[in-house]
Amino acid sequence: MTVSKRSAVKQRRADKRKRERQTTFFVIAGGVVLLIAAVVGISIYQQNQPVGDINLITPKDLPNPQGTALGDPNAPVRIDVFEDFQCPSCQVYTANIEMQVINELVATGQAYYVFRQYPFLDDRFATKESDQAANASLCAAEQDRFWDYHDMIYANMEGENAGAFTDRRLAAFAEALDLDMGAFNSCYNANKYQSQIDQDIRDALALGISGTPSVFVNGKAVSPGYVPGFEDIKAAVEAALAAGN
C-alpha cells in the first residue's frame, strides 16, 4: 500500500471516529435535555395543580409558644425533636405522642421543647417539598403561628413527594390560618430562614441523625432507630432531672 493510500485509510478511520464521537455526544446531550424538560414539566405541573381540599385544624392552647419552641427556656431539661414535614413517622409522632409530652413534661415546667428542621426526604427529587414546607413553617413562625402551621402541614400530608406541599398549597395553608399573606409570601419567596434550616441540618448531621423523628433530651438520643414513645421520653427527662439534682 502506498503512503498516500495509507494516509487516506487513516483519514477515513479518523473521520469515522469523529462521527461516532459526535453521535454519542448528541445522544447524551439529547437525553440530558429530555431529562431536564421532564423534571421542569413535572415541577410546573405540580405547582399549577388545583389546590384541592384542605383539612383545617383547631389551634391548640400551648404553653408559652415562642417561634419553634414551647415552654420555659430556663427549664432544667431541653427536648429537641428533629423532623421532616413529609415524614409519615413524624405525623404519627405528632398525632399520638407530642401532645402528651407537651402536657405532662413541658406545661409542668420540667422541659423546654424545640422543633428542629431536618428536611431530607426530597434530596433526590426535583420537587423540594420537604424544603418548601420547612421554609413555609418558619415564615408562619415569623407571625407567631408556627405550631398552628405545623399542625396544618401534618393534617394535609399525602405521602412523600406526592404534590401535597407545592407553593400554592403551602400558601393556601397560610391563608386558611388567616396569616398576613403579603408578609408570608415575601418571606417564603425570599427563603428568609434558609440559614436557620441549614444550621438545623448541620446540627442533625453532627448528631449522626439518619431518620426522623429523632428526639434528644439534653443532647442525648432517645430510642435511636425507632420512634420513641411517651414513656421513653418521660424516662429520659426523669433521668436528666435526676442527674441535674
Residue pLDDT tens, the chain, 245 long: 565 667 777 778 877 787 878 777 766 756 644 544 433 444 454 445 678 999 999 999 999 999 999 999 999 999 999 999 999 999 999 999 999 999 999 999 999 999 999 999 999 999 999 999 999 999 999 999 999 999 999 999 998 999 999 999 999 999 999 999 999 999 999 999 999 999 999 999 999 998 999 999 999 999 888 899 999 999 999 999 999 86
Q: Is the torsion defined by CA of 167, 169, 175, 179 positive or negative?
A: negative
138-to-190, 202, 204, 227, 238 alpha-carbon distances in Å: 12, 17, 18, 24, 31
| CB neighbourhood size of 202 (10 A) | 10
Non-local CB neighbours of 72 within 8 Å, separated by 6+ positions: 64, 109, 112
- What pLDDT does 39 receive? 39
- What pLDDT does 10 receive? 73
- What pLDDT does 50 receive? 73
Q: Shortest CA distance to 206 belongs to which of 118, 121, 125, 131?
A: 118
- What pLDDT does 100 receive? 98
Long-range contacts made by residues 153-156, C-beta under 8 angstroms, separation at least 24? 153/85, 154/85, 154/90, 154/91, 154/94, 154/95, 155/55, 155/56, 155/57, 156/54, 156/55
The residue to which cell 436557620 is assigned: 196
